[in-house]
Amino acid sequence: MHYYYPFYYDSTYILIIIGFIISMAASAHVKSVFNRYARVGSQLRLTGAQVAERMLAANGVAGVRVQPVRGSLTDNYNPMNKTVNLSESVYASTSIAALGVAAHECGHAMQHNVGYIPLSLRSAILPVANFGSRLGIPVCIVGMLIGGAGSTIVKIGILLFVFAVLFQLVTLPVEFNASRRALTWLEEGGILTPEELKGTRAVLMAAAMTYVAAASASILQLLRLVLIFGGGRRRD
From CA 33, how far away is CA 107, in angstroms rounded? 20
Helices 152-188 and 48-58 pack at an angle, to 10 degrees, of 90
Assess whether 196 carries a catalytic annotation: no
CA 55 to chain centre: 22
Q: Which of 105, 188, 195, 196 is catalytic?
A: 105
Q: Cβ atoms within 10 A of the Cβ of 41, count? A: 14
Residues carrying an active site annotation: 105
